Amino acid sequence: MRVIVDGATVDVPENATVLDAVRACGRYLPTLCYDARLSPRGSCRTCLVRAGSRIVAACTAPAAEGIAVQLDDPTAHQAARGAVELMVSELPARALEIPAERSEFVRACAHFGITASNFSGAEHDRGVDHSHPYVKLDRDLCIACGRCVAMCAEVQGTFALELTGRGFDTVVAPGDGGPWVSSPCVGCGGCVDSCPTGALSEPGLLDLRPITSTTTTTCGYCGVGCTLDVHVRDDTIAAITPAHGAPVNRGHACIKGRFAHTFIQAEDRLTAPLVRHNGQLVESTWDEALGLVAQRLAAIRDQHGPDAIAMISSARATNEENYLAQKFIRTVIGTNSIDNCSRLCHAPSAAGLTASFGLAGGTNPLDDLDHTDCILLAGANPTEAHPVVGARIKQRVLAGARLVVIDPRRTELAALADVHLQAAPGSNVAVFNGLAHLLVEEDHLDHAFLDHRTTGFDDLATLLADYPPEAVAAIADVRSADLVAAARLFGQAQHPAIVYGLGVTEHAHGTDGVRTLANLAILRGAVGTTGCCGILPLRGQNNVQGASDMGALPDVLPGYQHIAAPAIRARFERAWGRPVPERPGLRIPQMFDAALSGELRALYVIGEDIAQSDPNSGHVRAALDACEFVVCHDVFRSRTAEQASVVFPAASFLEKDGTFVNFDRRFQRVRPALAPPGHASDDFNVLQQVAQAMGADLGCPTPAAALAECASLTPVFAGLSHRRLEAEGPLHWPCPTSDRPGEAVLYLDRFATPDGKAALAARPYLPSGEQPDADFPFLLITGRRLVHYNTGSMTRRTANLELRPAETLEIHPSDAARLDITDGTDAIITSRWGQTVLTAHLTTDVAPGQVFAAFHFPTAPVNELTSPHTDTATDCPEYKVTAVHIQPVARGS
């Protein structure tokens, strides 16, 4: 539709507002209660214009074909100016001292020519609330526009805020009336980001000195891949804000990506290499560290063979660094023994999704949740572990989508769900088969899809006969009526979506879990079809998808090209000018076993604290001890670094150049906002230098060159380049050509399996590796907390620590009472593999007989307890099920 703005004609969509037309013309209009992320309120009247014969609020008035909009209409202008003047009269003079680039209110005043001299300089002295480490409220600057309240409700879905008071005394406040820090606020920063006056601010922006640079990059916390703007002042990060209009996070973020950045200037940051002398790690020069690493790796390789060396690459590192790491281990060392932490989280997704559909990633973009009418969320707690996705799920539920949650804990989303199947840990396969049984029995099937695009239905149907609701209810300890209700919600939905996490994969039969979950999407024709929502695995670390995509795996080259295929090896050998070993290398758990048996002599670990994050920590420590030589790259002196022979000081994600791949297969640019401190360096440079010290040249002088080389050798990435990502923004893979966008939705024409069909899998339920017994009667589940991340090495060095200073053991009150454990007292937790002490937190969020803890704190080493059991197909550890014994710490001890 055409709209004429001050004489200029502009085309806008049918549902556009007058404000959309004004902005499409590139014209400025003050909009103090409007935020494009929110439903318009139309309450501040600062956007008044004439549209046709009427004075309207541009933010809410629908545009009409041919309508003439006049921004400088005297009546509208005067009324809008009056609205701003009224606000000005109620604000203190300091409201106009905020730099214009940080205050919409100051810009609005400038637009209307209102200056400080117009102020009455009202001083209400309503006070501040600085109780929260990140969200700072100055009540006197509040104009009660309501944007913060709407951000918290509509975008974050937390409903922590409200406007209180009357008339000019109306201000934002936490809904529970107490201090901000003890409110339900989850610290996403949405309210701060939307506030037009600075009433809500954050520590780095209370300082009014100018920002000197802003860099747009990709978050280095979880795998959602939020686009962030990093604002720097005096070579220090002043603030990080979500990039508005970013495709993944759409101007939203979480407390980790938004605020937890001060770790980069922590006093204990590594700024020089460490070399072990006389049993002690001491600061060294790069020359000494590089010389020692080159000499020892070469000596071990030459004396014991290349397979005596293994590398654990990093899901935190960039794609380009992972590409270089696997090139280094294959061509300079001569082994395929490289793995990454996807082994510990989503290796079952890669294996299961590849077997079911053909490719090792989720099938659809996150954006497709926008049109789902039923979400099946299995084994994931995204409001804590992937908060931006969690908020999007809440948005859909608030808009009317149905929600089925399968999780042993009563998570925030479980509490919101239409049906919560609180299935016993380890029972996923039975539950998914039970739901499939009901889809078949009640004929919630896409028959045409099953007939033409799938295989395996008859075998599956035969198996499913063993999974009637009563049988599954007995295995999973759920009500059969709830199974039926869940199956009907999923079965009757027009656009069902499946979202899942590590609660599906980190099991002894995790790959079977992925396959039987994928069955549900296939039975409904909810994958590979127009308008489908598909299946989305929530990846744990920022670049765990990319680390695997780049071939940091023991059996595949970049793009999952199999190492055993001679033609593929030959292609890489021609490009690299070195032989590529044929024999598959070791997986991470096999590396530890090989170290203890003496076959593995050296371990090279990039950016992972395996001594804290991997299961059965005692076994990992023994393996590190058994190695002759351990090299480590890290930002801090981690537990793994403590056992290393040489530690290289690493750059953080905020100091790196390259790309990450997020959980829905998007390549996104990572740009350095700062230089690394001291002599720290990025993993890309360290690998180049180690190779050079060993007399090898890895080529790829820059990250852009590394991605270009990878693309030239990998058909599914062939259309990707840094230049294209700069020009076009994030791109999904597969991206086989440079003239077409990547494939956001997979398999619309055919599946990538050898026969082009989706493969239904008949997989029986099998018990977990860990079973409770009289000695170990409880089941321990591990997971994440909102404010911390992985081993906590970054978040514990920020003010997030104030919000959760220590780990606790969640235990049901009935169990606690039986054990004589009270809230806040210490309990000894013992498994068949180790022991630790945790402070009890009594909650009904866990079921009786189950307990929960995270492993973010070295002082609460939960992985001392977890077992060596792994997924039978991929060796992914069974983190989610550990049989434990619990007893109170003896009083007085």
Using DSSP bridges, classify how beta strands 556-557 and 561-562 pair: parallel, antiparallel or unpaired. antiparallel
Given the complex with ligand FES, which of 200 and 535 has the nearer CB atom?
A: 200
Span from 27-35, 297-305, 523-531, 779-787 in contact with ligand FES (CB under 6 A): 27-35
Q: Which is nearer to ligand FES, 147 or 409 (CB)?
A: 147
Q: Quick one: tokens of 812?
A: 């049901």
Strands 402-406, 374-378: pairing kind: parallel
Which is nearer to ligand FES, 56 or 851 (by Cβ)?
Answer: 56
Where is 689: in which H helix or E strand? helix 683-693
Rounded distance between C-alpha atoms, residue 200 and residue 194, angstroms: 9
**Least distance (Å) between residue 103 CB and ligand FES:** 15
Residue 153 CA to residue 194 CA, distance in Å, equals 13
Cβ distance to ligand FES smaller for residue 44 or 535: 44
Alpha carbon 67 to its chain centroid, in Å, reads 45
Scan residues 608-637 and list those touching ligand FES (CB under 6 A): none
Cα atoms found within 13 Å of the Cα of residue 54, Cβ hemisphere only: 9
793 makes contact with ligand FES (CB under 6 A): no
Exactly one of 5, 10, 12, 47 binds ligand FES (CB under 6 A); that residue is 47
210: preceding bond cis by omega (within 30 degrees): no
| Residue pair 415/408 in contact by the 8 Å Cβ criterion | no
Under the criterion CB under 6 A, does residue 533 sit at the interface with ligand FES?
no
> Measured on CA atoms in the order 223, 226, 229, 233, is the torsion positive or negative?
negative
Alpha helix positions (H), 442-531: 447-453, 457-464, 469-476, 480-492, 502-505, 510-523
Using the rule CB under 6 A, give the single segment among 28-36, 465-473, 493-501, 775-783 that binds ligand FES. Answer: 28-36
- Determine if 335 is a binding residue for ligand FES (CB under 6 A): no
**Phi first, then psi: what are they for 888, rounded to 5°?**
-70, 150
Q: How far is the CB of 124 from ligand FES (least distance, A)?
A: 22
**Closest of 430, 414, 504, 496 to residue 467, by C-alpha:** 430
Q: Does 32 interact with ligand FES (rule: CB under 6 A)? A: yes
**Which member of 18, 21, 44, 325 binds ligand FES (CB under 6 A)?**
44
Taking the C-alpha atoms of residue 342 and residue 360, their distance in angstroms, rounded to an integer, is 12
| Nearest residue (CB) to ligand FES, 34 versus 751 | 34
Query: Any contact of residue 17 with ligand FES (CB under 6 A)?
Result: no
3-state secondary structure of 312: strand
- Answer for which of 6, 24, 27, 42 binds ligand FES (CB under 6 A) is 42
Q: Is 31 in the site for ligand FES (CB under 6 A)?
A: yes
Q: Does 16 bind ligand FES (CB under 6 A)?
A: no
Specify the stretch interacting with ligand FES by CB under 6 A; choose among 32-40, 214-222, 426-434, 442-450: 32-40
Q: Does 197 bind ligand FES (CB under 6 A)?
A: no
Identified binder of ligand FES from the candidate list 1, 4, 6, 43, rule CB under 6 A: 43
- The verdict on 151 binding ligand FES (CB under 6 A) reads no
- E strand spans, 745-820: 758-759, 778-783, 808-811
* Amino acid at position 404, single letter: V
Torsional sign, CA 806, 811, 813, 818: negative
Asked if 651 contacts 677 with a C-beta cutoff of 8 angstroms, the reply is: no
**What is the separation, in whole angstroms, between the first and last Cα of the chain?**
77
Which of 5, 21, 25, 33 is in the footprint of ligand FES by CB under 6 A?
33
- The residue (of 43 and 830) whose beta carbon lies closer to ligand FES is 43
DSSP, res 847:
P
Q: Does 46 bind ligand FES (CB under 6 A)?
A: yes
Choosing from 45, 346, 392, 394, the residue that interacts with ligand FES (CB under 6 A) is 45
Residue 310 contacts ligand FES per CB under 6 A: no
- The two tokens of residue 872 are 């039978």
Residue 467 touching ligand FES (CB under 6 A): no
Q: From the CB of 803, what's the least distance to ligand FES, in Å?
A: 33
Judged by CB under 6 A, does residue 34 bind ligand FES?
yes
Q: What is the DSSP letter of 764?
A: -
- Does 51 help bind ligand FES (rule: CB under 6 A)? no
Contact between 109 and ligand FES per CB under 6 A: no
Nearer to ligand FES, 58 or 711 (CB): 58
Tell which phi-psi region holds residue 451, choosing left (phi > 0), alpha (psi between -120 and 50) or beta: alpha
Q: Is 82 in the site for ligand FES (CB under 6 A)?
A: no
Stretch near ligand FES under the rule CB under 6 A, chosen from 44-52, 395-403, 405-413, 585-593: 44-52
Pick from 206, 225, 205: nearest CA to 214: 205
CA distance 301 to 356: 39
**CB nearer ligand FES, residue 60 or residue 872:** 60
Beta-sheet pairing, 602-606 with 309-312:
parallel
Q: Name the one range near ligand FES by CB under 6 A: 39-47, 488-496, 516-524, 633-641.
A: 39-47
Q: Which of 56, 57, 270, 635 binds ligand FES (CB under 6 A)?
A: 57
Phi, psi of 94, deg, nearest 5: -65, -15
556 token code pair: 């595949």
Binding piece for ligand FES, criterion CB under 6 A, among 25-33, 471-479, 540-548, 739-747: 25-33
Beta bridge partners of 155: none
Closest CB 35 distance from ligand FES, rounded Å: 9
**Closest separation in Å from C-beta 126 to ligand FES:** 22
Residue in 3, 5, 49, 59 binding ligand FES, rule: CB under 6 A: 59
Query: Interface with ligand FES by CB under 6 A: which residues?
Result: 31-34, 42-47, 57, 59
